[in-house]
Structure formats: C-alpha cells, structure tokens
Amino acid sequence: MQLTVFTDYAALSDQAAREMIRTLEQKPDAVICMASGSSPKGCCERFVQLATSSGIDLSQFFFIGLDEWVGLTPGMPGSCSHDFFTRLFDPLSIPASQYHLFDPVAADMQAECEKMDTIIREKGGIDLMIVGIGLNGHIGFNEPGTPFTLLSHVIDLDATTIAVGQEKYFTTPVELKQGITLGLGHLMHTRKVLLLANGTGKASVIKEAAEGPVTSALPASIMQQHPDGYIWLDKEAAAMLSE
C-alpha cells in the first residue's frame, strides 16, 4: 500500500479521475467499481470533464456500483444509485448495458449477491476500484467485524453508519437497516484500489486504517495488505498520521 497526501481535495480528485482515464486508455473494456458518497464526488466530476474533453472511448468499459442501502426505492435521492446516475451515467450517456448496480428491493437478496459475483467473475474481475471510508472504518458496507474473504453480501448496518447515512445523504426520513455490498474478497482480488478520504472528520479513522493493526475490526486496514492499493488523502484527512 502507498499513501499520498495531496494539497487539497481538488488535486486528489483530479488524480483519481486521471487514474480512471489511464485505466481506460490501457484497457478500454476495463471494469471499474466505485463507491458513492462524498469522497469520490470530485473525482466523478473531474472524470466527466476529462472524458468529455479527451473524447476517450467510453463504449466498452463496465461499471459496478460498490454498495446500496437495502429497501430504498431504486434511484431515490440519497441512494448510491442516484449518485451514479447523476454523476456519471446521465452526464456521459452511459447505457444500462454498461453498468450493474445492486437492486435494493430484490425479492431474493441472496440471488442478488450471487448475480453480482457472477457478473464480476464473467467480466474477468475488477480492474480499478475507487472507495471511500466510513467513520467506523467500513469500506462499502463491510462493517467492523466483516471477514476479509467475503464476496457480495447483505449486512445489518452499524448504528454509526445508520446515523451518518440518515443525516448526510437523505433530506427526508428513511429507514436504514441493512446494506448490500461487494465484499473485501472482491477488493483484494481487484487489480488496483484507491481509497480516497478528505476532511478533518476522517483523520482519526485514517490513522487507524493506515498505521494501526490489520484487523477485521477496522475493515479499511485491509488496504495495508493490497499489493496495488493506494490511500489518497487531502491534508486534513492526513493530519493525524505520524509519518
């Protein structure tokens, strides 16, 4: 794992977007997986600018949504899919044939997990994953205690995740109980992983993830073991690091 501190969130987002472009230049049919939420927002905006101005071929890549809140109306504001539609699919006119997202209201959630795992396997694995980190150290909805080996699964959400989620992403009250997510087994099989974090609020959990013991109690600590894993921070998120 390598850790880089950028001058600010704009610089971090620019580099992450350029990494997406580089991936697609080298492999136009790359599989890219992304988290929703605030951390990758700037990266998505910059990617739309760069992809549009460069005219890069976007007709072959495949997008995987990292996670979703179970039970929400698909595409509702605040949902993960809403982020993907408004940030990427709509501005870049990405057709439905080029992405797969978890269905948060699937009748059979186990089958929904198996479907995701099958798609990833049939696509030849994930080339680039861009994730954020929760205040409790989660990646996607891999909450503290989740085994590092899991693939897609449904999980009961932590109280912290529910409280932060309700306040941060939704303007109206919603019932958040469970999440459906790719597992850390997927992350470890992904060829390259970027974890993005910005802001003072992430400083403490970043210190734990980057400098603490590798433990399922702090899922993001798995980044330390990824052979091509990168933690990209702004100065605020890096403020508590010792090195």
* Residue positions annotated with a catalytic role: 67, 136, 138, 143
- Which of 23, 136, 152, 161 binds ligand GLP (CB under 6 A)? It is 161
Of the two residues 122 and 167, which places its CB atom closer to ligand GLP in the complex?
167
Residue 190 interacts with ligand GLP (CB under 6 A)?
Answer: no
Residue 242 C-beta: closest distance to ligand GLP, Å:
23
Residue 39 interacts with ligand GLP (CB under 6 A)?
Answer: yes
Are the C-beta atoms of 40 and 196 separated by less than 8 Å? yes
- Which of 24, 30, 62, 67 binds ligand GLP (CB under 6 A)? It is 67
**CA–CA gap between residue 130 and residue 193 (Å, rounded):** 6
What DSSP line would sit under 186-201, residue for residue? HHHHSSEEEEEE-SGG
Q: Could you tell me which stretch among 12-20, 31-39, 114-122, 219-227 binds ligand GLP (CB under 6 A)?
A: 31-39
Residue 233 C-beta: closest distance to ligand GLP, Å:
13
Amino acid at 32: I
Sign of CA dihedral 78, 12, 208, 189: positive
The C-alpha angle with vertex 115 and arms to 110 and 116, in degrees rounded to 5, equals 100
Give, as ranges, the residues between 105 and 144 that touch ligand GLP (CB under 6 A): 131-134, 140-141
Residue with tokens 């971090």: 12
Residue 240 C-beta: closest distance to ligand GLP, Å:
17
Q: Using CB atoms within 10 A of its CB, is residue 91 exposed (0-12), middle (13-18) or buried (19+)?
A: middle
Residue 178 interacts with ligand GLP (CB under 6 A)?
Answer: no
Q: Which residues bind ligand GLP (CB under 6 A)?
A: 35-39, 66-67, 131-134, 140-141, 161, 165
